[in-house]
Chains A and B, each alone.
Chain A
Amino acid sequence: MPVKVMIPTPLRQFADKQESVHLEAGTVGDALSALTSQFSDLKRHLYSDDGRLRSFVNVYVNDEDIRYLQREKTAVQQGDTISIVPSIAGGAKA
């Protein structure tokens, strides 16, 4: 299914400065896999070393958070928009 993936501003430098990318995918996981295959430098910013999406990386399908759907197994339909949205965290002491 052709879907659109919206790239957040801080990651556009690793995706040829594109705001969005069109990909073929059946699930959110497929789309993110295709995205990081096409733009390999994105991978370290989206995934931790154990291969899981980083906690501050939020993914929405048409404005619905995939944590409330089937996470990366969430199916996507033709024309869906997948958005990667940052959350921001930190703190003084490790």
Chain B
Amino acid sequence: MLILKQSLFEQIQAHGARDYPSECCGALLGQDSGTDRTVLGLVPLANQREDSPSNRFEITSEDVRLAEKAASDKGWELIGWYHSHPDSPARPSEFDREQAWPWYSYIIFRVEKAEPQEMRSWRLKDDRASYDEEGIEYIAGAPA
């Protein structure tokens, strides 16, 4: 289960609406108890795929390192990533699967005509063949 504060959920949605029709992306910082994960903060990032931003996103290794440092500075972990699918379903594409890492939580949400829609979270299976969906529990509260 991925536990997500309502305020962070709204920040992710707003990022997707703001960047539409491009895909938005960012890092999920938080804590992993071994059974549940709690998102405690976000690092919104620039989509580096300038050639095809409406159906591709990329986060450089330099930005990954920045996100890791932002997490460790707060005593948290970098637990995953979010990105939008403009006018496309909130499930991983084949391209998503080919590029994915195990362990991380991947939040994907649909943005339809600049309006954020459903949000789902996915984790790549260890054999890389497919994903497991990870339930999202929304809780009240402001960012930590």
Contact = CB atoms under 8 A, between A and B. Distances in A.
A93 B52 CA distance: 11
Interface in A35-94: 41, 44-45, 55-56, 58, 65, 85-94
User: Which secondary structure dominates chain A's binding surface?
Assistant: mixed
A92 B85 CA distance: 5
A90 B100 contact: yes
Interface string A2-24: 00000011110110000000000
Contacts of B103: 9-11, 13
Interface residues of B, number: 38
B83 to A, nearest CB: 6
Given A45-B102, A85-B65, A94 B94 contact: yes
A74 to B, nearest CB: 16
B128 interface: yes
Contact of B61 (A58, A90, A92): A58
Contact of A45 (B25, B93, B101, B106): B101
Nearest to B27: A88
A88 B59 contact: yes
Contact of A91 (B61, B64, B95, B101): B95
Interface residues of A, number: 23
A10 B57 contact: no
A92 B93 contact: yes
Nearest to B65: A85
Contacts of B85: 92
A92 B126 CA distance: 22
B2 to A, nearest CB: 15
B56 A10 contact: no
Contacts of A8: 101
B58 interface: yes
A89 B97 CA distance: 10
Given A9-B77, A44-B127, A90 B64 contact: no
A92 B106 CA distance: 13
Interface of A: 8-11, 13-14, 41, 44-45, 55-56, 58, 65, 85-94
8 contacts: A10-B104, A14-B126, A85-B65, A87-B59, A90-B83, A90-B100, A92-B86, A93-B95
